């Protein structure tokens, strides 16, 4: 549990999610799809190129509350697909097309067969089946459906999952740098801001030396490493990757994340028998069923929760509940979301079962402008500054209604590159 953060019981999450949409009727007339490009503060390099902007696909449902007084209501969803397919089979342009040509038409079909009432987010099976290979696009639509129902009911996601008014301590992420000195300087800045958990990226040739330097310079920092599937089981001195990575054990890391190919659960299970550092999976975990497989095989002992990658908020809540029940440590991952979706992740990050600060630093730490106002940090809790370090930053979960403040029309006008409206008739 994150020190200083308060947590609500997690019991009944799936039931609460399944019940959303049962209270107030919502009719949807049209769906607006947006493609926007937000400016990154620093370029982000992936295996497929350097990205200076974060393209995002957004879904906006527009309709009316039809129980009692009729009034307009909207629902916003954000797609986490990235600019390229380095980490997922979907990129943002594919998600946008799948939403426009498959998922939104399927939603309208489902609406027509259900007396034109918007189903709850847990009851979109007919819609999801229209594009089973596009979980990230579906997750965006599911988020919009949930947001519309929450707005119609005048409540927040936080109230639905029982974390209203809670706070979380965010962790920070640092990419690979040109030198170990630069890495130490960047992590040092974060430590001086009070971050108590930092994740750094590793890869063959960039692992022992930087991690040893960090462990020496910041002995009290909670450090985790993310390999983004950059190792192969036969890499390393003497073709012994396991033996090489076991060298990380002496640094007391929180976990090593996704060393091998996402499809190769067996390699991760084999590595787990040789390391005392817990193995966490991220890219491998693209559905609740995959989480079950990985845990059953012993391929991981820690789970990174990324709602979009798992197939949506409903899938994420079921994974959180399942892992919480069996004591599997969890933490919230991030995908360079806008502040809107990062607020959603922050809400989930306040749930019981989150074992340490997730990738929940403010979106303004990687974007120079955003779709929603900068919610920033609330005042740190001075009780939490450990070992003489500054108190860690604290984030409040969005108050709602719905997922939080919806995207600002001015920001959409500034950063929108494509807008498509689909109507039900
Ligand atoms: Mg990762």
Catalytically active residues are 201, 306
Taking alpha carbons only, the member of 104, 166, 95 closest to residue 134 is 95
Half-sphere exposure of 392 (CA within 13 A, CB side): 27
CATH 3.30.390.10 domain range(s) in the chain: 17-154+409-423
Instruction: For domain 160-396, give the CATH number.
Output: 3.20.20.120
Q: Identify the pLDDT of residue 302.
A: 98
State the distance from the centre of ligand 1 to the C-alpha of 306, rounded, in angstroms: 9
State the distance from the centre of ligand 1 to the C-alpha of 172, rounded, in angstroms: 12
State the distance from the centre of ligand 1 to the C-alpha of 384, rounded, in angstroms: 27
CATH 3.20.20.120 domain range(s) in the chain: 160-396
Q: Identify the pLDDT of residue 149.
A: 98
CA distance 228 to 381: 33
Q: With the C-alpha atoms ordered 395, 399, 401, 407, is the resulting torsion angle positive or negative?
A: negative
Polymer length of the chain: 425
Taking alpha carbons only, the member of 74, 79, 95 closest to residue 142 is 79
CA distance 406 to 390: 33
Architecture of domain 17-154+409-423: 2-Layer Sandwich (3.30)
Q: Identify the pLDDT of residue 170.
A: 94
Over the chain, what HEC string results?
Answer: CCCCCCCECCCCHHHHHHHCCCCCCEEEEEEEEEEEEEEEEEEEEECCEEEEEEEEEEEEEEEEECCCCCEEEEEEEEECCECCCCCCCCEHHHHHHHHHHHHHHHHHHHHHCCCCCCCCHHHCHHHHCCCCCCHHHHHHHHHHHHHHHHHHHCCEHHHHHCCCCCEECCCEEECCCCCHHHHHHHHHHHHHCCCCEEEEECECCECHHHHHHHHHHCCCCEEEEECCCCCCCCCCHHHCHHHHHHHHHHHCCCCEECCCCCCCHHHHHHHHCCCCCCEEECCCCCCHHHHHHHHHHCCCCEEEECHHHHCCHHHHHHHHHHHHHHCCCEEECCCCCCHHHHHHHHHHHCECCECCCCCCCCHHHCECCCCCCCCCCECCCHHHCHHHCCCCCEEECCCCCECCCCCCHHHHHHHEEEEEEEECC
State the distance from the centre of ligand 1 to the C-alpha of 351, rounded, in angstroms: 20
CA distance 118 to 313: 17
State the distance from the centre of ligand 1 to the C-alpha of 257, rounded, in angstroms: 6
State the distance from the centre of ligand 1 to the C-alpha of 283, rounded, in angstroms: 7
Cα–Cα distances in Å, from 104 out to 44, 114, 127, 416, 419? Answer: 31, 15, 8, 20, 14
State the distance from the centre of ligand 1 to the C-alpha of 27, rounded, in angstroms: 38
State the distance from the centre of ligand 1 to the C-alpha of 85, rounded, in angstroms: 14
Yes or no: say if 412 and 34 are a contact pair by the CB < 8 Å rule: yes
State the distance from the centre of ligand 1 to the C-alpha of 258, rounded, in angstroms: 7
Q: Identify the pLDDT of residue 8.
A: 47
- Name the stretches of the chain with pLDDT < 50: 1-10
* 94-133 CB burial, b ≥16 within 10 A, e <16: bbbbbbbebbbbbbbebbeeeebebbbbbbbeebbebbee
State the distance from the centre of ligand 1 to the C-alpha of 409, rounded, in angstroms: 32
State the distance from the centre of ligand 1 to the C-alpha of 161, rounded, in angstroms: 25
């Amino acid at each position: 549990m994150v020190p200083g953060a308060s947590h609500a019981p997690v019991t009944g999450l799936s039931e609460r999610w399944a019940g959303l949409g049962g209270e107030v009727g919502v009719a949807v007339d049209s769906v607006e799809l947006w493609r926007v490009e937000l400016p990154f503060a620093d370029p982000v390099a992936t295996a497929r190129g350097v990205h200076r902007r974060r393209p995002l696909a957004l879904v906006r449902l527009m309709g009316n509350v039809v129980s009692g007084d009729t009034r307009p209501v909207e629902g916003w969803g954000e797609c986490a697909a990235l600019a390229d397919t380095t980490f997922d089979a979907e990129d943002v342009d594919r998600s946008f097309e799948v939403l426009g040509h498959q998922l939104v038409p399927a939603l309208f079909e489902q609406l027509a067969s259900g007396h034109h009432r918007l189903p709850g987010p847990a009851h979109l099976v007919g819609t999801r089946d229209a594009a089973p290979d596009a979980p990230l696009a579906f997750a965006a639509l599911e988020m919009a459906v949930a947001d519309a129902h929450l707005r119609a009911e005048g409540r927040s996601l936080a109230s639905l999952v029982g974390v209203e008014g809670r706070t979380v301590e965010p962790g920070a992420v640092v990419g690979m740098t040109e030198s170990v000195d630069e890495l130490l300087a960047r992590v040092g800045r974060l430590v001086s801001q009070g971050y108590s958990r930092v994740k750094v990226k590793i890869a063959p040739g960039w692992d022992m030396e930087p991690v040893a330097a960090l462990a020496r310079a910041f002995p009290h920092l909670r450090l985790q490493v993310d390999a983004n599937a950059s190792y192969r089981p036969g890499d390393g001195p003497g073709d012994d990757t396991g033996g090489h990575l076991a060298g990380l054990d002496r640094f007391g890391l929180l976990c090593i994340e996704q060393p091998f190919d996402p499809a190769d659960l067996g390699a991760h299970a084999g590595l787990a028998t040789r390391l005392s550092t817990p193995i966490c999976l991220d890219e491998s975990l693209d559905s609740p069923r995959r989480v079950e497989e990985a845990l059953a095989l012993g391929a991981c002992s820690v789970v990174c929760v990324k709602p979009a990658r798992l197939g949506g908020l409903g899938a994420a809540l079921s994974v959180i509940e399942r892992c919480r029940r069996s004591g599997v440590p969890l933490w919230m991952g991030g995908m360079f979301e806008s502040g809107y979706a990062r607020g959603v992740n922050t809400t989930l990050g306040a749930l019981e079962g989150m074992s340490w600060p997730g990738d929940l630093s403010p979106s303004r730490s990687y974007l120079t402008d955003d779709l929603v106002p900068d919610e920033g940090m609330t005042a740190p809790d001075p009780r939490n500054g450990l070992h003489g370090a500054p108190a860690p930053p604290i984030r409040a979960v969005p108050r709602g209604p719905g997922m939080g403040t919806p995207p600002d029309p001015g920001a959409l006008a500034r950063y929108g590159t494509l807008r498509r409206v689909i109507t039900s008739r």
